[in-house]
Amino acid sequence: MTPYDPIFADGPGTGLAHPASYWLDTAGPLPADDGPAPAALDTEVAVIGGGYTGLSTALHLARRGHRVTVLEANRPGWGCSGRNGGFARMAFGRLSFSDMVSRFGLPAAKVLFGHTKASLDNVRQMIREGGIDCDASEAGYLKVAPKPGRAAALAAEARLMQRELDYPAEFIDARTLQRDHLGGAQSFGALRIPDALALHPLKLAAGVLRMARAAGAVVHASSPVTGWRKDGATHVLSTPHGTVRAAQVVIGTNGYTPPGLHRDLDAAMMPILSHIIVTRPMTDADVAGSNFVTGHVLTDARKLMFYWRRLPDRRILFGGRGLIADTPGRTASHRDYLYRELIAKYPSLDGIGIEHDWHGWVAFTRDFLPRIRCAADDATVHYAVGYQGSGVSLSLYAGRLIAARIAGDAAEPAIEAAGHPVRPFPLHRLMRIPQRALFYWYRFLDSRP
């Protein structure tokens, strides 16, 4: 069987079950969808992709009275919406606030930060309105210095956010971090952002699916879009079962976008695998040895960052980038690599073992910025992609913004930084070669003080 790679494959499959994961094992019964699309269907808005972006778009359009149909290749929440680490943060890709200032200037950076805050508030609102039981907790976010030399930049970031945003970011020194949050061998201080949620991502996707269907949206599983043409002003989408005709189309496929779906997105994204392991529950001795007591969601200050958190049942979820190809041998090797890196952080946990692991594709753009916009030559085609692996909050917010644009609701302002045309990668189909070299270079940079 040929390994799946979104750069080359026509699609992610048809009707595939959710992949094995800790989230699937603990999600409980998943809600029904509307089954495969029928032989002929007319709708006002067709949404390609049944993850957070697509389901949120459908929900917010249906609430406004629009006829909206979601076309999902496999199962709703099958992609990264049901596989991520469950970090809902104030994030615009991987940009820190100082990065935003450097790229866009201080006034625009303040506006963009406001959008990231609104995106997290939107997650809270959706959970509250839908009564979604997704184990959400107000966790806060710690960006940890894995080496002493990385601490100064985190302290400077906290001061910048305090001064320019009047936002209560803070720098936690190494002693306080190790006493109150987590010990181990790589805890040399942290930037603390008090706003973040820890949650169960597949339960969240299931909750938004229920909300969308209750509002009147139709969500078809096992219905990949295999062809797309225009008939006058009408979009005609082919599925394995027939055709869907729509006045407008929304693309929410992100890391699973097949080549040829739409010319705006051809060669526009680099899909990169992100891999997660989950340990057995920590014993009292494990907790005492590591002092892993924090409920915050965690990343470290690296080029190839790791992300991790303590789960409600005292397991540790630990993830990172770096897997190039989706093959069994390389997956097993990378699983072992992640475990070694976890133990390097917390040597006292050696032997805790891995009970779950899985992986999925996240999408990076050439300039590392997400996109939420209309197609360059067709205002009836909309897309939100390129979340750079930090899309839980932004993807749900993007669906709300796209729905507002389609509905002509000027009360929901667009994100200017996400509205520029996306530049294609040169020699896109050969990008796995320089990607490998780049990852080696990043690991070298990460090894330095």
Quote the CA–CA distance of 375 and 367 in Å, as a whole number. 18
Over residues 108-117, the pLDDT tens digits come to 999 999 999 9
Quote the CA–CA distance of 290 and 309 in Å, as a whole number. 13
- pLDDT level of residue 323 (50, 70, 90 thresholds): confident
- pLDDT level of residue 247 (50, 70, 90 thresholds): very high
Residue 52 pLDDT > 90, yes or no?
A: yes
Q: How many independent structural domains does the chain possess?
A: 1
Q: How far apart, in Å, are the Cα atoms of 395 and each of 98, 101, 116, 189?
A: 22, 23, 11, 30
pLDDT of residue 301: 97
Residue 187 lies in a domain: yes
| Sequence-separated (6 or more) residues with CB below 8 Å from residue 280 | 315, 352, 353, 355
Region of residue 145 (left: phi > 0; alpha: psi -120 to 50; beta: else): beta
**Quick one: DSSP state of residue 423?**
P
Quote the CA–CA distance of 379 and 348 in Å, as a whole number. 56
Structure tokens at 389: 């692996």
Residue 340 pLDDT > 70, yes or no?
A: yes
| Sequence-separated (6 or more) residues with CB below 8 Å from residue 35 | 220, 221, 222
State the CATH number of the domain containing residue 193. 3.30.9.10
Residue 358 lies in a domain: yes
Quote the CA–CA distance of 108 and 266 in Å, as a whole number. 29
Least confident of 116-125, 192-201, 397-406, 426-435: 426-435
Q: Average pLDDT of the chain?
A: 97
SS3 120: helix
Residue 66 lies in a domain: no
pLDDT of residue 1: 60
pLDDT of residue 51: 98
Residue 221 lies in a domain: no
- pLDDT level of residue 325 (50, 70, 90 thresholds): confident
Residue 3 pLDDT > 90, yes or no?
A: no
Residue 153 lies in a domain: yes
Residue 350 lies in a domain: yes
Residue 27 lies in a domain: no
Share of the chain above pLDDT 90, in %: 97
Question: Nearest to residue 216, comparing CAs of 67, 76, 77, 70?
Answer: 67
Query: In this structure, are residues 194 and 140 in contact, taking their beta carbons and an 8 Å threshold?
Result: yes
Quote the CA–CA distance of 223 and 244 in Å, as a whole number. 10
Residues spanned by the domain of 164: 138-197+271-366+437-445
Query: In this structure, are residues 446 and 302 in contact, taking their beta carbons and an 8 Å threshold?
Result: yes
Residue 343 lies in a domain: yes
pLDDT of residue 274: 96
Over residues 169-213, the pLDDT tens digits come to 999 999 999 999 999 999 999 999 999 999 999 999 999 999 999
Structure tokens at 243: 């055709």
